Every structure is written in C-alpha cells, then in structure tokens.
C-alpha cells in the first residue's frame, strides 16, 4: 500500500520528492511546474508513480499536465518508471540522451541485464514491469539541445563519465543544473562542520574518470547557483563542495590503479579502500557522527563504486 509521499517545495516552481527507492533519501525525483505545465526530471521506478501523482495533486495538477518526462540517463533508479509514466501521461513526450533512447523504446536489454544481476524475483520487487515507449513520443536531446515549456528554457548538456548515455539539464530560470549522477552523491544525513559531504559515483559499467572531470567542468561553466542532485536534493556548488567532488574522482582512480595487481577478491579490497577514504574525509571535514552510522549511509554506494572500478580496470588496464 502506498504511504504518504515525502517532498519539499524548493524555489522557482521546483519540487524535490523521494522516489522511495530501497531506503528514504536515496533517490530523488524533481517536478518542475511552469504555468500549469510540468516536467518530471528522473522517474524513479514504477513503484514511485503513485507518489508522483500525490505530489502533483497537492498542486492541483495531475498526469494530464505533464509535458515532458526527462530521465538524465537510463539506469533504472533514474528511468525505471519512464514507460509506466508515459502510459499515464498522455500529453507527455520523453526526452532522453541519444545513446539511451533505444533502451527505453525497447527495454529488453535493460531488463535482461538487471535481471541477471538481481534475479527475477528481486528485479520485480525493485522495479516492477518495465514498459516500452512509442518512439514517436521520444525526443533525443543532443548536446546543446534546448527545450521550452511555457517559455521556461531547458538546455541539455552531454555529460559522460558516469555513463555515456547521460545528460544534465540546465534550467535557465533557476540558474540550476539537474545533474543526475554526474555531480556526485551527497546525502543530507551525513553532517560535517563544512556542510554537505559529496563524492563521485563510479558505478558499472561506463566509468571514465577523465570524461567525468570534464563533465563536472562543463556543468560549472554554466555558473549555476544550485545543483539538483538525484542522490540527494539540492546543494550549492561552493569551492569546498567542488574540491571534494573532484578530489574523490582522482582518489577513486588511484584506489583502482593501486589494486591493479590484486588477483583475488579485488572488489572487496576496492570496497574497503573506498570506505576508508570516505570515512577519513568525513573526519577531516569535522563530522562527529559515529563510524557505524557513516558506514551505514555510504555502504550501498561504496559497494557499487567498487564494482564499477573493478569493471574499469578489467576493460582498460588488465592484461
């Protein structure tokens, strides 16, 4: 049974809501409203859809008001609900990266890949039925593509590094960027004396550290006042935040290269070293929270980062 949606109204007609994916405050969905039209940026999973409707209804809106559905990339915590939402939002078009469009028009490869990782039962529990989308309703947004919603301009930035099928969306009205996974992960429950704690995500299978650093610069070149993270909610890109994020990309690359000759349990070694790095940085930034609590928050992403670094080593560095 669907419980009450968790959401927060930000400025400029932007609402951030919890996708209710795995655990609270893990994955966000953004609802952008402009004079009665709506863009949904990130979809969560099919299980997120009733919560989206709840939030729309608090604004006296419904699925008929939705004009655009925009996943930043096709990983299923960002795009798993796209097909189901498109079925319900009959006036909407899907906006997706050109490299990701085919996977949402025909999601069979996405389903097969995720099922092989999770098993059929867990896959269904996490994501439900992934539905195909009519290609006639799909807009493929290349780098620099601009879209207007009742005069509100969105500009799409090609931002590989986390995934080749990843774009970010610059919202001129808020001077903010919806960054998907390109600008890293920052969970508000991790508290430090220096404010928010942030680190890069290197999840499988297309991590590219140089491309990711270039994409971060591309975002910063827009001089945004806010970054709207999928993991999780809005942050201000202060010099401290920017340095943390860039340092983490380089640190994760070094952690991977230092493990290049590890022949057994390399993912375990990578995971341990990622956790050690993140815990050390939290201490440096003045976090007073217990190590056990910090580990509970970073554990999920640390494991995924380790898998991504191992894949990167196998693809580019293993003999």
Q: Residue 116: which residues within 8 A CB-CB, separation 6 or more?
A: none
Residue after which a domain boundary falls, among 173, 190, 221: 173
Does 202 reside within a domain?
no
Check whether residue 160 and residue 286 sit in a common domain.
no
Residue after which a domain boundary falls, among 155, 173, 191: 173
- Burial string for 12-40 (b: 16+ CB within 10 Å, else e) reads ebbbbbbbbbeeeebbbbbbbbbeebbbb
Overall number of domains in the chain? 2
CATH number at residue 52: 3.60.15.10
Give pLDDT tens digits for 168-222.
999 999 999 999 999 999 999 998 999 999 999 999 889 999 999 999 999 999 9
Q: What is the mean pLDDT of the chain?
A: 95
User: Whole-angstrom Cα distance, residue 299 to residue 24?
Assistant: 15
Check whether residue 139 and residue 245 sit in a common domain.
no
Check whether residue 259 and residue 122 sit in a common domain.
no
Check whether residue 245 and residue 169 sit in a common domain.
no
Does 37 reside within a domain?
yes
Residue after which a domain boundary falls, among 173, 204, 220: 173
Does 258 reside within a domain?
yes
User: Whole-angstrom Cα distance, residue 96 to residue 104?
Assistant: 9
Check whether residue 286 and residue 147 sit in a common domain.
no
Does 226 reside within a domain?
no
Domain that holds residue 28: 7-173
Stated pTM of the model: 0.95
**What angle is formed at CA 184 by the lines to CA 318 and CA 206, rounded to 5 degrees?**
30
Give pLDDT tens digits for 42-52.
999 999 999 99
């Amino acid at each position: 049974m669907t419980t009450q949606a968790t959401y927060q109204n930000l400025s400029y007609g932007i609402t951030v809501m919890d996708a209710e994916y795995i655990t609270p405050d893990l994955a966000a969905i953004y609802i952008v409203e402009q004079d009665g039209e709506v863009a949904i940026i990130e979809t969560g999973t099919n299980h997120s859809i009733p919560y989206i409707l709840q939030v729309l209804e608090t604004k006296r809106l419904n699925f008929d008001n939705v004009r655009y559905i925009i996943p930043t990339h096709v990983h299923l915590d960002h795009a798993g609900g796209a097909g189901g939402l498109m079925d319900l939002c009959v006036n909407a078009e899907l906006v997706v990266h050109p490299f990701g469009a085919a996977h949402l028009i025909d999601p069979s490869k996405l389903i097969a890949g995720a099922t092989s990782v999770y098993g059929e039962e867990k896959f269904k529990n996490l994501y439900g039925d992934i539905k195909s989308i009519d290609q006639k309703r799909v807009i493929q947004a290349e780098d620099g593509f601009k879209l207007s919603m009742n005069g509100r301009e969105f500009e799409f930035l090609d931002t590989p590094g986390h995934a080749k099928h990843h774009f970010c969306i610059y919202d001129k009205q808020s001077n903010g960027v919806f960054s998907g996974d390109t600008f890293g992960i920052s969970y508000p429950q991790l508290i430090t004396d220096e404010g928010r704690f942030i680190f890069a995500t290197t999840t499988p299978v297309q991590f590219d550290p140089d491309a990711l650093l270039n994409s971060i610069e591309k975002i910063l070149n827009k001089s945004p006042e806010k970054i709207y993270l999928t993991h999780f909610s809005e942050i201000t890109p202060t010099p401290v935040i920017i340095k943390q994020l860039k340092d983490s990309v380089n640190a994760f690359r070094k952690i991977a290269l230092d493990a290049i000759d590890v022949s057994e349990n390399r993912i375990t070694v990578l995971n341990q070293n990622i956790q050690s790095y993140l815990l050390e940085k939290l201490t440096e930034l003045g976090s007073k929270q217990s190590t056990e609590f910090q580990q509970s928050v970073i554990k999920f992403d640390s494991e995924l980062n380790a898998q991504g670094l191992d894949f990167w080593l196998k693809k580019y560095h293993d003999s």
